[in-house]
Structure 1
Amino acid sequence: MQKLNLPPSDFKLKSEEGNQFIFDIVRKKYLVLTPEEWVRQHFIHLMVNHLAYPKSLIKVETGLAYFKSAKRSDIMLCDREGSNFLLVECKAADVKIDRKALNQVSVYNKELKARYVALTNGMVHFIWEYRSDENKYYQLKEFPKFV
């Protein structure tokens, strides 16, 4: 897999019947190692090991409905009260972060109402704060502290 612009981590990898798998520390199971999963797992490790976000408050690939369409958010960090704090949309490293990707995560957040939204392909990362009173997103330079 491609080297990403994220801190290296000690991943548990295994091969079975010609397929590569990576262990998800949140869901506590091995998953097929796709380019998007590679980014997602790196980002989860960043959140837990470098940003000190509580692993117990992270949800991965949870379902949501939007205009009768079933969708899945990649990573959601909840605050201590159980409200959505940070929504992260992951793309494979070769997928360009463009208006389409930004629209996707903003559509998801209309339903999820997270205070912060991030978009990453493992090479570039963007983070915004959503201010519901203004109905506007403001780009941030770093990830929010979890308190």
Structure 2
Amino acid sequence: MIKIEYPAYPYKIRTENNREFIFDTIRKQWVALTPEEWVRQNFLQYLLQVKKFPGSLIAVEKEIRLGELTKRCDIVVYGRNAMPLLMTECKAMEIEITASAAEQILRYNISLPVQYLVITNGYHCFAFERTENNFQPLQEIPGWKDE
């Protein structure tokens, strides 16, 4: 498991009709502030501020096809070569990270192969790097300089 120190960030939050919305700086739009979205926005700031990935190379809720199904990856980071590099699956903080979350991101990886897979619920974070035969656990999430 990886310990993440989330950076301070002045999130823009507004309320409309008793619903809270947060401004997503990557999608440049207001989105419903769900527990999962809170984790996603914090992890995005971690990727931007701590790991120094350029926002222009990050996609949020990237649509992919799994056979007949259309799914959405929470976060996809592209590398310098414009190829998908890192995929993150975000869960709400109260959701335990289980084998089903790992299976979910592995299914997404079939459609959109990446070098790094990350699963987080905000508290717990697991990262894996693709090797020739499988994925190996990482002790740290790679940054832009490592790419």
Note whether the superposition's TM-score is higher than 0.5.
Answer: yes
**% identical equivalent positions:** 37
- Counterpart contact for 1:60–1:74, Cα < 8 Å: yes
Which residue in 2 is equivalent to 1:68? 68
Q: Take 1:89 and 1:102, find their aligned partners in 2: how far apart are those partners? A: 9
Question: Any idea what SS the aligned residue of 2:144 has?
Answer: coil
Q: Considering Cα pairs closer than 8 Å and 6+ residues apart, tell me whether 1 or 2 has the greater RCO.
A: 2
Confirm or deny that 1:115 pairs with 2:104: no
- Counterpart contact for 1:90–1:119, Cα < 8 Å: yes
**What stretches of structure 2 of length at least 5 have no aligned partner?**
none
The TM-score, its normalising length taken from structure 1, stands at: 0.92
Q: Take 1:32 and 1:62, find their aligned partners in 2: how far apart are those partners? A: 17
Q: Take 2:113 and 2:51, find their aligned partners in 1: how far apart are those partners? A: 21
- Of 133, 136, 141, the residue aligned with 2:134 is 136
Q: Which amino acid aligns with 2:83?
A: S
Which residue in 2 is equivalent to 1:145? 143
Q: Deviations over 1:13-45 (max 9, x none)?
A: 111111100010100111010000000000000
Q: Take 2:7 and 2:119, find their aligned partners in 1: how far apart are those partners? A: 17
Report the count of equivalent residues.
Answer: 142
The TM-score, its normalising length taken from structure 2, stands at: 0.92
Q: Which amino acid aligns with 1:53?
A: F
Residue 65 of structure 1: how far off its partner (Å)? 0.8
Residue 135 of structure 1: how far off its partner (Å)? 2.8
Question: Any idea what SS the aligned residue of 1:95 has?
Answer: coil
Residue 5 of structure 1: how far off its partner (Å)? 6.5
Which residue in 2 is equivalent to 1:79? 79
Q: Take 2:143 and 2:54, find their aligned partners in 1: how far apart are those partners? A: 11
- Counterpart contact for 2:51–2:143, Cα < 8 Å: yes
